Every structure is written in C-alpha cells, then in structure tokens.
Structure 1
C-alpha cells in the first residue's frame, strides 16, 4: 500500500496504512528540518531477504504505532502488539481545518470486538503531531501502548516528568549471549532512575544514552502521583534537537523505555539496529493476559488495561524542537495556546501548543484532569 501523507505549515506526517505506523514526521522550524522518528533499516529491503516468521509490524517497523494489546497477544489471537500494529487501516477522512489538517483512519479488523479509530491532527506552526485513539464497543479489557521510536547517531540525554518508580520484568530481553545482550538487572526496582541496577552489580543512568554501550533492554517508569502532564524529552547530540513526547498520566500511567542499541545479533536486527530508543507510553503490563491479571504494576496501584464496552479514548503528542541554546527541561506546563519549557539550567522557552488537547481525552473515574 502507498504511504499516506498530509501536513500543515511547518509539519508533515506520513502514515503506512498497511500496518498503521507513523512512517515519518518532518518538522520545519527556525530554518531547520527535524526528523525525530526512527524507521528500521530493513523496511525498504525485499521481503524475501527477511525471516519468514516476522510479524508485519516488525517487517515495516516505523516511527510510532498503536499496540493493542502491548507485547504478547495471548487473550485474543493476534501477532505481537496486536492487529493495530500489524494490519490494514483505512483512511476514512482527510481534510483541512481552519488552522491545520486532520486525518482519520479506522482499523479494518476489530480488537476484542471493538472498532478502533486513529485521529491525527497537525496545526499550522505547531511542531507537534496530536494523536488520539478511540475504541468503541467490544467486550472485556484491552492493554494499550504507543510505540514511539527515535534514534541517535551519537547518543543523547533524557529528562522526564516525575516518576515514582522504575522497574524491569522477570527476564532480560536477551538472556542468551549467543543471540544478544542485556545490561540491566532483571527483575529490579528503584526510585532513582539515575542509578538503575545493572546485571554486573553496578548501576546505569537511565537519563544518559551512550552510543557505545551495546544492549537490548526494557524498563518501565511509573508516573508520580498527581502529575498533571507526563512527558519525555530526548536531547539528541548529533541531531542537535529536542524530541518531546507528551501524555495524560490519568490515561497512560507508565512510560516504557526500549533501549535497542546493537543488542540483538540475529536477523533482521543483526547488530545494526543501533542508537534506538522506544518511548512507549501505555496502560499495560507485558502481555495481554498479564495486563488483565496479577502483575507487579497492579500491585503498585497502577491500572494496566482499559475496560471495553463504551467509548475509550486516549491521547499522545509527538514533536521536536531545534536544540541550539535550549537545554533539557525540568518542567513542562501546557497553557491554552503554548507549551512552556522550564530549563534545568534556568530560563524558559515557549512554543505553540494546543493546551486543551491532552485534557480532552477520557478521564478515568476518580482521576484529576491534566
């Protein structure tokens, strides 16, 4: 299927409708062209050169996509990360707004009996893609996550909204040294993300992405209580930009980091998938069945699935700014028409932003709005 592209002043979005992945995000700002999202190196290679068993979502691994469920689909049969990441989306509307453009896509399959819609909005002069996913109807419960990916040629630095806990699962992503390597300890928990327990007994700073540290790791960050806006900022050194991912913590209470830096030696990864960071905001544990049952996040009081049956909606924002004189932020504040960044070293910056967007999604019972 052909890539579907739309945009507004200063921003262009490309979608791969065969799998629903954001294939490209291009932002023009201050005379710069920014490309914050990653696309796997094998996407343009002939399909017959790749392992036969690969899910389509891995074959066409790009940018950002919806996982429903996240990871193993072991309640309703589907590929890894569900049909939302592996099957066709139909463009049902693409039209101009007074100040931008909006495109709506619908998954041709249903998930747990629910219809799934993807609504993508860009606005003139805004360096952000505003995403909303809506589940209508269905039965049971579904775990969900975005799967945004960026890549760094020479590493970078990370900052986050306040987190109360970081943890790994029971088993490393690559426990077999003949196939790859993981550097974090599994399982492990800490409240200090600058000193996460390492497999060798030391500690690893999750706020620093080192280019030469070959690893395949996965760690979950739990949002602090009463956080009004959840965010991840990545200052990419070689790319000289600041990648921003924002969410409503009431909807998506965890941010999962996939550190994919040459840590897999088998095809199609083959040691060439380097410098990649997945910033995966979700409401999930690892696997659909695990998300519905007992898991370490639920024991920490974190919701890991949405109940289906009515209308369920959640939102996320992706964007980038030239780094230049900017620093990593220590705080973000969404105002009516701007996003204000308060820098760690002092000073502030403001950029155009739809301040009501993250507030407009579904608010689970008992949760305060953003």
Structure 2
C-alpha cells in the first residue's frame, strides 16, 4: 500500500495515495493519542480476498476522502463517489511552513475536465487537520462532499448544521433478517431529527448514537436553506473526544 505520512508537533496524518483516502489521523492530547477516523477492517486484506467488482475506493475504504460526485456517478463515467475517491493522487509539494507542515496533492485523473488539488495543513499543537480542495478549469456542475468515517465504542452525541428533514431509502441496507437488522423504518422521513420513525413503530433521536445493538442503517439529512456550509460534529463517549 502506497501510504505517505506527514506530521507537525503532536499531530500526524497518513494518506493512501492510491485513492486519496486519509488512512490514519493521530492527535496527541495530554498523555494519550486520539484516532478519530475509522478504517474499514478489509482495507488491508489481500486483493484476492475481496469481490472483483468492488470499486477501488471501497476496497481501500478509509477515514475521510473527497467525493465528486457524492454517491453514484450519473454525470460522467466513474466509480461510486467519483474518481477522487477511487484513483491515484500525486504529491506535488510537501514542505515545512511557519509553525507546521503543508502538503499539496493532485488527482491524476480529471473530473469533468477539471484538475483537482487537495491541500492538507498541519499546525504545531493544533488538534485539527485543515483540508482544502480546489477544482481548476473544467465545466459543468457536480455534487461535492467529504466522506468522513468514525467509530464509537460506547455511542455518543451528534450535532449538525440546520437540516430540512431526514430520509431513509425505500429498502433497508440488509433486507434479509437472517443476515442483519436495522433500527430505523424504511422508507421514512421526519423534519425533527429527535423523532425519527423506527422499525418497531416507535421513535428514536438521530442526534444520539447508541451502541446498544447490532444494526446497520442509512439515513440522509437534507440541508436547510441557510446559504452556509453543511457540517457535522461528533462527541464520542468512550473515547472522550469531540
């Protein structure tokens, strides 16, 4: 695996250059190390152990990555979440800056004719990774999003920018009850995140993630018209971080 690691004082990040995913993020806080990002358990398996039809971004699924477009690519021919999530990136620049380190990556493929740059900045003693993505040239419109993944050993609290509603798709992720279960109702929608319909006919609070049952769910939060950026914050209970 072609992974490049960059660091500043008390923070370091590793990037899987084959797909542009953040393979690891380590923040030193006091006498402990925080690892807020989740890496799929199969990401380091030999290729022959995975189905041949899987996109490269699913095979190497890690931490956080750029989607352009988000989800299925129906604008130009590309794998799930587009070429930024499934193809190689080059390190164009990597150098120390005043009080930290800055790295510029460039996607080897084009997205709708545009060159895509990823800029990561690490600041000494800052518990944050600063990310920027730039589209140079090209034409057309496309959805763009980060695909950040985390895990919570004992649940936690979630906060979001203002949402219009929450929606689940027509079918649960695993419709066969012998293979898995879902907590939420499918299909369903609600304008109040604290009162979303569940499979048993009751309601649950989407701002509270409970680790009290094995279930898989997929819910889309639709942004309200506030002309700002959409954001999510996660406070993890067992890990005691934000």
Aligned equivalents of 1:33, 1:72: Cα separation in 2: 36
The residue number in structure 1 matching 2:233 is 233
Aligned equivalents of 1:184, 1:162: Cα separation in 2: 21
Any residues of structure 2 matched to 1:152-301 within 5 Å, and which?
Answer: 152-177=152-177, 179-226=179-226, 230-242=230-242
Ranges in structure 2 where 5+ consecutive residues have no aligned partner: none
Aligned equivalents of 2:185, 2:150: Cα separation in 1: 24
- The Cα of 1:227 is off from its aligned counterpart by 7.6
Report the secondary structure of 1:103's partner residue.
strand
Is the Cα contact below 8 Å between 2:103 and 2:120 reproduced in 1? yes
| CA displacement 1:207-251 (0-9 Å, x = unmatched) | 222223222222222344548675433222222222xxxxxxxxx
Is the Cα contact below 8 Å between 2:19 and 2:85 reproduced in 1? yes
TM-score w.r.t. the length of structure 2 is: 0.91
The residue number in structure 2 matching 1:78 is 78
Report the secondary structure of 1:94's partner residue.
strand
The residue number in structure 1 matching 2:16 is 16
Report the secondary structure of 1:96's partner residue.
strand
Aligned equivalents of 1:180, 1:151: Cα separation in 2: 19
Is the Cα contact below 8 Å between 2:162 and 2:226 reproduced in 1? no
Report the secondary structure of 1:58's partner residue.
helix
The residue number in structure 1 matching 2:56 is 56
The residue number in structure 1 matching 2:122 is 122
Aligned equivalents of 2:184, 2:137: Cα separation in 1: 40
RMSD: 2.0
- The Cα of 1:15 is off from its aligned counterpart by 0.3
The residue number in structure 2 matching 1:279 is none
| CA displacement 1:148-204 (0-9 Å, x = unmatched) | 000112222223344342223344333343554333223332222111112332112
Is the Cα contact below 8 Å between 1:162 and 1:227 reproduced in 2? no
Is 1:42–2:42 an aligned residue pair?
yes
The residue number in structure 1 matching 2:29 is 29
Report the secondary structure of 1:48's partner residue.
helix
Report the secondary structure of 2:57's partner residue.
helix
Deviates more, 1:192-201 or 1:110-119: 192-201
Ranges in structure 1 where 5+ consecutive residues have no aligned partner: 243-370
How many residues of Structure 1 are paired with residues of Structure 2 in the alignment?
A: 242
Aligned equivalents of 1:227, 1:163: Cα separation in 2: 12
